[in-house]
Amino acid sequence: MRWIISRTTWLERMARRKQPAVDDVTARDHAAMLVRAGAPWLRQAREQLATARRDGKLAHGILIHGTGGAGQSALALWTANLVLCHESGAAPCGRCRSCVLFLAGNHPDFYSVELEEKASYIKVDQIRELCAKLTLRSYSGGGKAGIIDPADKMNLQANNALLKTLEEPPEDTFLILAASRPDRLPRTVVSRCQRVRITTPPDKEAVAWLNGELPRQDWPDLLKLAAGAPFRALDLAGEGAGELTGEMRTLLAQGGSGGALDPLEIAAQWSKDRPAARLAWLESWLESQIRERASGSDVVNNNHDFRLPSADVGVNIKSAFTLLDKVRDARQLLESSLNTQLLLEDLLVQFVNALAGRTAGRMEIQG
Ligand SMILES: [Zn+2]
Same domain, 46 and 135: yes
33 and 148 share one domain? yes
Q: What is the pLDDT of residue 311?
A: 42
In this structure, is residue 175 part of a structural domain? yes
> What single-letter DSSP state applies at residue 19?
-
Centre of ligand 1 to C-alpha 243, Å, is 42
Report the separation in Å between the CA atom of 244 and the middle of ligand 1, taken as the mean of its atom positions.
44
CA of 99 to the centre of ligand 1 (A): 4
Number of folded domains that form the chain: 2
| Whole-number Å distance between alpha carbons of 131 and 133 | 5
- Position 172 in a domain: yes
The residue segments making up the domain with residue 11 are 7-197
Residues 38 and 126 in one domain: yes
Residue 197 · residue 166 · CB < 8 Å: no
pLDDT of residue 24: 60
Helix (H) or strand (E) holding 275: helix 275-296
- The answer to whether residues 139 and 244 belong to one domain is no
CA–CA separation, 98 and 88 (whole Å): 12
Q: Which pLDDT score is estimated for 20?
A: 37
Same domain for 153 and 265?
A: no
Centre of ligand 1 to C-alpha 86, Å, is 5
CA–centroid distance, 83 to ligand 1, in Å, is 9
Question: Quick one: 38 and 164 in the same domain?
Answer: yes
| Residues 168 and 262 occupy one common structural domain | no
Distances (CA, A) of 168 to 91, 113, 177: 27, 20, 16
Cβ contacts of 174 within 8 Å, gap of 6 or more: 58, 60, 61, 62, 79, 80, 83, 143, 144, 145, 146
Cis before 20 (ω within 30): yes
Query: Are 325 and 182 contained in the same domain?
Result: no
Query: pLDDT value at position 280?
Result: 87
User: Residue 24 belongs to a domain with what CATH number?
Assistant: 3.40.50.300
Same domain, 272 and 181: no
Give the integer Cα–Cα distance in Å for 354 and 7: 44
Please report the pLDDT score of residue 295 as a whole number: 66
- What spacing in Å lies between the alpha carbon of 73 and ligand 1's midpoint? 20
Domain-located, residue 217: no
Phi-psi region of 242 (alpha: psi -120 to 50; beta: other; left: phi over 0): alpha
- What CATH number should be reported for the domain holding residue 301? 1.20.272
**Which pLDDT score is estimated for 250?**
85
Distance 88 CA to ligand 1 centre (A): 8
Residue 41 lies in a domain: yes
Separation between Cα atoms, residue 321 and residue 2, nearest integer Å = 25
Task: Tell me the C-alpha to C-alpha distance, in Å, between residue 359 and each of 66, 84, 305, 365.
Answer: 33, 53, 14, 15
Whether 11 maps to a domain, the answer reads yes
Residues near 211 by Cβ (< 8 Å), separated by ≥ 6? 219
110 CA from centroid of ligand 1 (Å)? 14
Q: What is the pLDDT of residue 337?
A: 74
Question: 73 by DSSP, 3-state: which?
Answer: helix
Q: How does pLDDT run across 55-97, given as a tens digit for each residue?
A: 999 999 999 999 999 999 999 999 999 999 999 889 999 999 9
Following DSSP, what letter does each residue of 74-123 receive, concatenated? HHHHHHHHHHH-SS-SSS--S-SHHHHHHHTT--TTEEEE-PPTT-SSB-
What does pTM read for this prediction?
0.78
Whether residue 233 lies inside any domain: the answer is no
- Residues of the chain falling short of pLDDT 70: 1-26, 258-259, 295-315, 357-367
